[in-house]
Amino acid sequence: MTTSFRVEPGGSLRGELRVPGDKSISHRSIMFGALAEGRTEVTGFLDGEDCLATIAAFQAMGVPIERPERHSVIIDGVGLHGLRAPAGPLGMGNSGTAMRLLCGVLAGQSFDSVLVGDASLTRRPMRRVTEPLAQMGARIDTAENGTPPLHIHGGRNLHGHRHTLAVASAQVKSALLLAGLWSEGETCVTEPAPTRDHTERMLLGFGYELQRDGRRACLKGGGQLQACAVDVPADISSAAFFLVGASIAQGSDLLLRHVGVNPTRTGVIDILRLMGASIEVLDRREIGGEPVADLRVRWSPLKGIRIPPELVPLAIDEFPAVFVAAACAQGETVLTGAEELRVKESDRIQVMADGLSALGVRCEVLPDGIRIEGRETLDGGEIQSHGDHRISMSFAMAALRAQGEIMVRDCDNVATSFPGFAELAGGAGLGIAST
């Protein structure tokens, strides 16, 4: 039996809460801590299944990692040349981030390794990272259609390369920079549009020399990473569900504490504000090299917009929630230039369109986006999430504007990024129960 969310119609979100730690930063904190010299202590760590899989992978490669309490990790790094061959395949669970970044790490090792994932991850494209790594001398075998499992051959002499990415992807950029740590010469990555820069910030935080010039990042192999403390802020991708929920539910007034507001991740705030959302960014500060703030969001009538193309890569993971906001906005919302949504944990364009249609929303699927016609209220209904955690949580919030109960099926993978979602949302006023 799989978990379902049964969500009562109506209500509002009020109070203060802190969503779990940022998944992207949590993954990287384990990787960098493992490869550093000395002891790295991580606080605010996301205890989700994806990040726990990253811990297990590095433990399997001989890295001592302790978890003294929830949201806390201690890593005794083994340095860039201290990893050991694992006894078997490394399981990445549902995490495309972990798999793609580990390609860069493992391409430079002396031993062979195999990366595997769950059914969803096994369908995701990997050639976008294996092919540019091959230009650096790596050899990574995929399944016939370019998907996992990935067989990474060790003992390769990697060399620096100047990469110009065809598609904006923080995962590909990060994998190439990580491979550059073991490469002879300089590795440079130029991206067509800004993407999240947690890898670059963390490299600098761990004392590794990196040059940044606009959309290009360069580093030379042969250096060292030095252990440091990492404080993981709350994940803006998880906060996005509450930003949308409070924006669409009349009477809502919600304060989200200690949220990461890295400018390469705040596209969802910019998009919602363009739609008329009332979102205040309070007490801006910097923690461990990452900008953090408190976000206050109150109900406000939303209007449909044409989403600016420059904001698309800055909100790529938050679009399922944005689609719910569009369904509750006056007028039409149009998104284009988002082909990347087709190859996430699900085809998020089609799956969201199917779910919105089940709630009475008129929408048109485009090859690279969607057109959504907003409604005053949504119908109740049954939603198939296709095992996609962001689909599940987005439609749970949609119930705040529904006339009838919404049942969201196949929600087990919510635990990969947001353990305790139903309890936290219920405490804020959402009438949600897990069944």
CATH number of the domain that residue 283 is part of = 3.65.10.10
Give 148's contacts (C-beta < 8 A, 6+ positions apart): 92, 99, 115, 116, 117, 121, 122, 124, 126, 142
What is each CA distance from 64 to 78, 85, 230, 349, in whole angstroms? 8, 14, 17, 41
Query: Does residue 127 sit in the same domain as residue 275?
Result: no
Query: Does residue 200 sit in the same domain as residue 221?
Result: yes
Single out the residue in 216, 231, 246 at which a domain terminates.
231
Choice among 22, 231, 294, 317 that is catalytic: 317
**Which pair of tokens denotes residue 275?**
């739609």
**Contact yes or no for 179/203 (Cβ under 8 A):** no
Query: Does residue 256 sit in the same domain as residue 211?
Result: no
Which sign does the torsion angle of CA 406, 410, 414, 420 carry?
positive
Tally of domains within the chain: 2
Single out the residue in 183, 212, 231 at which a domain terminates.
231
Residue 141 is classified by DSSP as E
Give 423's contacts (C-beta < 8 A, 6+ positions apart): none
What is residue 138's predicted lDDT score, i.e. its pLDDT?
98
What is residue 289's predicted lDDT score, i.e. its pLDDT?
84
**Which pair of tokens denotes residue 229?**
């403390």
- For residue 205, the one-letter residue type is G
Query: Does residue 180 sit in the same domain as residue 276?
Result: no
Query: Does residue 133 sit in the same domain as residue 276?
Result: no
Query: Does residue 11 sit in the same domain as residue 33?
Result: no
Query: Does residue 288 sit in the same domain as residue 320?
Result: yes
Query: Does residue 291 sit in the same domain as residue 430?
Result: yes
Respond yes or no: is residue 354 known to be catalytic. Answer: no
Domain that holds residue 164: 23-231
Query: Does residue 288 sit in the same domain as residue 383?
Result: yes
What is residue 60's predicted lDDT score, i.e. its pLDDT?
98
CB neighbour burial string for 55-74, b if at least 16 within 10 angstroms, e if fewer: bbbbbbbebebeeeeeeebe
Rounded to the nearest integer, the mean pLDDT of the chain is 96
Single out the residue in 199, 231, 263 at which a domain terminates.
231
What is residue 343's predicted lDDT score, i.e. its pLDDT?
84
Strand duo 140-141 + 150-152: pairing: antiparallel
* Cis amide leading into 313 (omega within 30): no
Query: Does residue 195 sit in the same domain as residue 336?
Result: no
**Which pair of tokens denotes residue 297?**
């969001």
What is residue 105's predicted lDDT score, i.e. its pLDDT?
98
**Contact yes or no for 202/289 (Cβ under 8 A):** yes
**Contact yes or no for 39/230 (Cβ under 8 A):** no
Phi-psi region of 222 (alpha: psi -120 to 50; beta: other; left: phi over 0): left
Query: Does residue 380 sit in the same domain as residue 312?
Result: yes
The pair phi, psi for residue 112, each rounded to 5°, is -80, 155
Query: Does residue 318 sit in the same domain as residue 363?
Result: yes
What is residue 288's predicted lDDT score, i.e. its pLDDT?
81
How does pLDDT run along the chain (435 residues), one tens digit per residue? Answer: 789 999 999 999 999 999 999 999 999 999 999 999 999 999 999 999 999 999 999 999 999 999 999 999 999 999 999 999 999 999 999 999 999 999 999 999 999 999 999 998 999 999 999 999 999 999 999 999 999 999 999 999 999 999 999 988 999 999 999 999 999 999 999 999 999 999 999 999 999 999 999 999 999 999 999 999 999 999 999 999 999 999 999 999 999 999 999 999 999 999 999 999 999 999 999 988 899 999 999 999 999 999 999 999 999 999 999 999 999 999 999 999 999 999 898 999 999 999 999 999 999 999 999 999 999 999 999 999 999 999 999 999 999 999 999 999 999 999 989 999 999 999 999 999 999
The overall longest dimension of the chain from CA atoms, in Å, is 61
